[in-house]
Amino acid sequence: MSALPRLPFAALSAAGGTLRVRAMRASDLEAVIAIEQQVYPFPWTRGNFVDSLAAGYDAWVFEAADAPGPALTGYAIVMWIPDEAHLLNLGVAAAAQGRGLGRAMLDWLMRDATDRGARAMMLEVRPSNERAIALYRSSGFAQIGVRKRYYPAADGAREDAWVLLRKLVDE
């Protein structure tokens, strides 16, 4: 969507502390992939992240602002389609979960998307990911569809995806 001038980083607060958000770099991939593998049963591959960066998707990392060095605690990948932001991936380090960081990250992503002209944000989520569903629903997302057999599951099975949408502006 519209490219606004960007500061090197922005800061946001959560119950778990203050986070810095900045654009993801290739040098962040080791830390991002480590978190991805911790928190998802079927994690994205390095290639998924490399492809997202190469495609020009918004790729963000969230770092603990009070850490002595870069302490990456989360990340997000957002793809833009005409006037909508599609949240492809959102991850919070296992050790940092349950402190409001995911909510703070999601709130920041929605504000950023709104500021840049998105009218809505869409995402897919596993029906078995109850924690994520609770976060999204409490943030105003509603289910608008189902993608059958979308995600890989145990023993070669497939799991549906719920498609969720949140309007960011009143029509």
Enclosing domain of residue 111: 10-121
Which CATH number goes with the domain that contains 67? 3.40.630.30
**Residue 126 located in a structural domain:** no
The whole-number average pLDDT for the span 96-103 is 90
For residue 76, the SS3 value is strand
**Residue 46 located in a structural domain:** yes
| Distance of alpha carbon 61 from alpha carbon 32, whole angstroms | 8
Q: Is 136 a catalytic residue?
A: yes
pTM above 0.85, yes or no: yes
Of 94, 102, 97, 98, residue with least CA distance to 123: 102
- State the catalytic residue, choosing from 124, 150, 151, 171: 124
CA 85, 88, 136: angle at the middle one, nearest 5? 80
* DSSP one-letter code for 28: G
Q: What percent of the chain has pLDDT over 70?
A: 87
**Residue 137 located in a structural domain:** no
pLDDT band at residue 150 using 50, 70 and 90 as cut-offs = very high
Q: Tokens 């296992």 identify what position?
A: 94
Q: Is 171 a catalytic residue?
A: no
**Residue 17 located in a structural domain:** yes
* Domain count across the chain: 1
**Residue 115 located in a structural domain:** yes
**Residue 37 located in a structural domain:** yes
- State the catalytic residue, choosing from 57, 75, 136, 151: 136
**Residue 152 located in a structural domain:** no
